[in-house]
Chain A
């Protein structure tokens, strides 16, 4: 599924995955684009510390397309910080 074409994505439900393991559950996220760089700011509600310490991690945004079908957009996480329930991350380009 192609990733988003516009420069920012705001949503509620997301997660951070390590392979097929969930590393963190997200409730509220904003993905912004600054040229070739994508940034994430999100609220984590549940973290698996071990999985979050592994690599590679991916941010997965659960969205609905224009037909209402649930789709997932994925970005590889390049760098990540978690502080008091907020995660900020540098993302790679969205996956096709």
Chain B
């Protein structure tokens, strides 16, 4: 079997959302990025670490989102390429909530699709059933509304 590199390369994907807008996102997170994401969405309680449902959506978007086509009222693009998380969060907090939900849902669907794609690829390569990911997917984990 040909050795496969496990290093995550900075590949991107463009997601289409409503009104002709697009999102440029990371194709997948590496371990460091995933650990940072999980660290930010869990909070410590007296009984242990629990998922902070308000943070799941926003932190997932921040982890994946690289750029977008969204514009200010004057027609200029809202710049987020190369921005840090605080700057991206400020831009996300400035848009209407329905739009944020649409962006969140698009990115979570992308995350799920990429996980399934990799599982299918592993199955093809090994001829065996793919193993479950060590860390559970957070898509739909909290149910209801998550920020």
Contacts and interface: CB of A to CB of B under 8 A. Distances in A.
Contacts of A60: 82
Chain A interface residue number, banded:
under 10
Interface of B: 7, 10, 26, 66, 82
A8 B34 CA distance: 39
Contacts of A21: 10
Contacts of A72: 82
Nearest to A74: B82
Given A18-B10, A20-B26, 8 more contacts: A19-B10, A20-B10, A20-B66, A21-B10, A50-B7, A60-B82, A72-B82, A74-B82
Contacts, number: 10
Nearest to A72: B82
A50 B10 CA distance: 13
Interface string A6-22: 00000000000011110
A37 B66 CA distance: 30
Interface in A1-44: 18-21
B95 to A, nearest CB: 21
A67 B60 CA distance: 32
